[in-house]
Amino acid sequence: MGRTPASSSWNTRKPSVIMSIIDVSIIGYGPVGALTALSLANAGLRVRILERSSDSVEMPRAVAIDGETLRAFQRLDRSNEIWGLCQLPRDPNTIAFANSKRVPIISLDILGFGANGWPDMTFFDQPELEAELRRLVALDDRIEVKLGNEVVRVDQDAESVTITSRDREDGGETKTVSRYSIGCDGASSFVRETVGIEWLSLDYDQEWLVIDITQGPDADLPLTTMQICDPARLATYICVKDPNRRWEFQLLPGETREEILSDEKIGELLSSWIDPKDYEIRRAAVYQFHAATAEKWRAGRVLLAGDAAHQTPPFLGQGLNAGFRDAVNLGWKLPLVLSGVCGDDLLDTYAVERDPHARDLVDRAVSIGKLMEVLAAREAGEPDPHPPESLNVNVGGPIVPPMRGGVMIQSQTETGKLAGKLLRQPRVRARKAEGDNEDILLDHFLGKSFCVVGRETSDLALGDEAKTILEQLGGSSLALTDLEVTEGRFDSLFEEHAAVLVRPDRYIFGVTDKEWSLDQLVLELGKKLSFTG
């Protein structure tokens, strides 16, 4: 049958409407686009979100959220809302590599109170998260959302970006003019393609079947999330938010999507786990687990974030969390540029920081897949399919690596140094507070911009020039002697260093030592930020 002619709504398209200039336009209204908008609006910017779909996601996709992400929502005073959507820590609260009989080979505990002041990892249901994020966005009158608007053109000049979008119902076009624009429109990003940024494969492509279920009250499934290193078929079992569960099964050579998606095959794969009467399938789909990154993350006034900039296999549960880090990074840099406090060059540090970090996470995720193959081969009595040096797993260590460059003291990012790491966040109480003196997480005392943190008040002294820079950045200072820890601990860096300069995203810019005084750190920060004074 020939193609149906264009409908009358397209042929009688309404004239383009040009919207007044705003600060930032965001293309894509997934979780990353929503957090980016909330972060920018929290800094006082006017934001417009353009989304081609009229509905939010109804099926589960991402399921894991880490402590750094919860800490990011904490800085927006929205942690209670997001934490309320998360699965509370279980007992046991573990992740394991297991053999074909599901006996753990390696087990890792998930800390209920981690270095970020939140659980290192917990689980959520994406439809619930998206609904809540959209509710929060709707509460902020600095954010405008246009659903059912498909972006069809991106133009820019030295001063602004013009986004042409088309209403998918009546065909009317709207031109959104903004000073910057962010493409959060997924792995097949129209924005990325339109501005001419290449999509680079990182040499990991495998097809896996993903099955999400809702279990009944009589189900007796394990509480441990497992990477099943079965020689017959690699699999992952994810103990996501109750009452839901997820499996991922690797397709075998020669196996087709149609074959593995059949009811009979799905029933067979789940039969050793759960009785058919004890579950309902929410979703079953074959996905290509892919590793890729954008060649660059910025083209003029257009930037990429989330899956539009990077895609990773799901073995670390870091795909969405990596996108949230993009949102946080842009969330403090764009306001400084748009306010005129810092030059546009600051935005060049976005890719400098995020691209290597995202690639490190991709490398670690791929290594998880390789480790599963190694353990499966060993159970089968076969040689290891991968050399040890290719397994960048760091079992038992932090899931997320530090950043390696950008707005930080480069000499302190080397092995064993502190710049590029997140400052530990304990729960604390003010020593001299009057009246109610509740336990509260440390970031509450750091403010929302840069902060110099010292062991004692005397460690926070600054000269006039450094003090001016910190003040114009909206920065603050904090002496730890004013606080007492009620849960967790202060960062061990204070055992050797009197003071630290912390960024708005709580990554460490630098510490004082024999080479760097606090004054020098703040002055160097001004240079790296392209501070205009």
The candidate with the shortest Cα–Cα distance to 294, out of 242, 336, 355, 343, is 355
Element (H, E) at 137: helix 126-138
Asked if 296 and 206 touch (Cβ cutoff 8 Å), the reply is no
Topology of domain 410-528 in CATH is: Glutaredoxin (3.40.30)
Q: Which two tokens stand for residue 421?
A: 């790491």
The contacts of residue 520 (CB under 8 Å, 6+ apart) are: none
The contacts of residue 436 (CB under 8 Å, 6+ apart) are: none
The contacts of residue 103 (CB under 8 Å, 6+ apart) are: none
The candidate with the shortest Cα–Cα distance to 356, out of 425, 430, 296, is 296
- Alpha-carbon dihedral sign for residues 16, 22, 23, 25: negative
Instruction: Return the bridge partners of 303, or none.
Output: 182, 298
Structure confidence at residue 17 (pLDDT):
72
Q: Which two tokens stand for residue 84?
A: 């309320």
Peptide bond into 383 cis (omega under 30): no
Backbone angles phi, psi at 69, to 5 degrees: -65, -45
In this structure, which amino acid lies at residue 23?
D
Structure confidence at residue 364 (pLDDT):
87
C-alpha pair distances (Å), 161 with each of 303, 344, 521: 11, 15, 35
Peptide bond into 313 cis (omega under 30): no
Structure confidence at residue 385 (pLDDT):
92
Q: At what angle do helices 348-379 and 319-338 cross, to 10 degrees?
A: 170
How big is the chain, counted in residues?
533
Asked if 218 and 340 touch (Cβ cutoff 8 Å), the reply is no
Q: Which two tokens stand for residue 348?
A: 């060049």
Q: What is the CATH number of domain 8-85+124-200+292-363?
A: 3.50.50.60
**Long-range CB pairs of 152-157, under 8 A, 24+ apart, other chains included:** 153/194, 154/181, 154/191, 154/194, 154/195, 154/302, 156/181, 156/300, 156/301, 156/302
Burial annotation 143-160 (CB, 10 A radius, 16+ → b, else e): bbbbbbbbbeebebeeeb
Q: Which two tokens stand for residue 251?
A: 């397709």
What do you get for the CA distance between the two ends of the chain, in Å? 66
Asked if 206 and 328 touch (Cβ cutoff 8 Å), the reply is no
Q: What is the mean pLDDT of each run of 10 residues along the chain (533 residues)?
A: 36 61 97 98 98 87 95 96 95 92 93 93 95 97 97 97 95 95 97 96 90 97 96 97 97 96 97 97 93 95 97 90 97 98 97 94 88 96 88 70 93 85 96 77 96 97 97 97 96 96 98 96 97 87
**DSSP-assigned letter for residue 128:** H
Backbone angles phi, psi at 316, to 5 degrees: -95, -10
The candidate with the shortest Cα–Cα distance to 89, out of 317, 318, 242, is 242
Give the β-pairing of 235-238 and 440-441: unpaired
C-alpha pair distances (Å), 333 with each of 59, 73, 190, 413, 520: 33, 17, 24, 20, 21
DSSP-H helix ranges across 185-262: 190-194, 257-260
Q: Which two tokens stand for residue 69?
A: 């992400």
What does the domain layout of the chain look like in residue ranges? 8-85+124-200+292-363, 410-528
Considering the entire predicted model, what is its pTM?
0.93
Distance (Å, whole) CA 14 – CA 165: 12
Residue 384's CB is within 10 A of a number of other CB atoms, namely: 14
Distance (Å, whole) CA 381 – CA 243: 37
Structure confidence at residue 400 (pLDDT):
84
C-alpha pair distances (Å), 6 with each of 13, 14, 147, 149: 11, 15, 22, 18
C-alpha pair distances (Å), 173 with each of 20, 164, 170: 14, 7, 9
